[in-house]
Amino acid sequence: MGLSPDILHPIVATALAEDIGAGDVTCAAIIPEDAAARAYIQAKEPCVVCGLDLVVETFRHLDSRLTVNLLATDGDRLLPGQRVATLEGRARAILSGERVALNFLQRLSGIATLTAAFVERVAGTRAEILDTRKTTPGLRALEKYAVTVGGGENHRKGLYDQILVKDNHLVVLARFGPQPVAAAVRAAKQNAPNVIAEVEVKNIDELEQALEAGADLILLDNMTDREMAEAVRLAAGRAKLEASGGVTLDRVADIARAGVDYISVGALTHSAPAVDFSLEIEE
């Protein structure tokens, strides 16, 4: 699954406008307008590459005649020094687009690489790795795409496609009566019967409320491994279970072995280290 041009075009245009503004004054001052150049982009560390369509879109936006030859595909595992693209055309376009293209590539490859590490840790279990809505405003589509490239799955895209009752929702509902977890699930099933209804629970009592009310998916918030195993036993397939909170690479395998269906990891998009890439002009 690639990125739609409807998503690529406006994001790249905004990024270039932010960086270039009224014009690249360095290139305008010292690089002849008709100067040509050849260049390549390479990985400087091991990674799962992601964002190559954005590289193409960035340079083509600046010069539609620029030749961009991709040497890799999103999802490929790269070694240090491995080239992912070559460029040939107007030097000004290559130089002006360099940083924006690399910024996209390093950010999305970082997310894909971290996601792949989590996916590898839960291999052989039933658990799937999910992302969250902890994304960079305006770049959610890109970052959630990078998660899928790394082998993870997207949770809801936004507030519009799935019900997720969180702790603050429950605080509000608690003012109107007892057992807010059960009340929230019943209201969700009644008022939006065709939408997946998920609710966050913090203990076994709330889990039992959610199961009794018919929740489709239950988020186990910051539970211990023992509590999660007990939740799996009690649910017995009546609802899917998602573990969340404090998930690290060191702990994720233990969480998966508890038997949950999903593990959501905010760090995939809010804390993924950027992967180092460079663009080199050939002499």
Where in the sequence numbering do the catalytic residues fall? Answer: 99, 134, 166, 200, 221
**E-assigned strand segments in 44-196:** 47-48, 67-70, 77-78, 83-90, 128-130, 163-165
What is the arrangement of strands in the sheet containing 277-281, beginning at the earlier edge strand? 67-70, 83-90, 36-43, 277-281
Cα separation, 248 vs 251, in Å, equals 5
Residue among 57, 65, 3, 55 nearest 34 (CA):
65
Q: What is the DSSP string of 81-110?
A: T-EEEEEEEEHHHHHHHHHHHHHHHHHHHH
85, 55 in Cβ contact below 8 A? yes
> 141: Cβ–Cβ under 8 A, 6 or more apart, which residues?
3, 7, 11
Tell me which amino acid residue 9 is: H
- Rounded to the nearest angstrom, the gap between the alpha carbon of residue 169 and the centroid of all alpha carbons in its chain is 25
Q: Looking up tokens 């009546």, which residue turns up?
A: 238
**Rounded to a whole number, what is the largest CA-CA distance in the chain?**
74
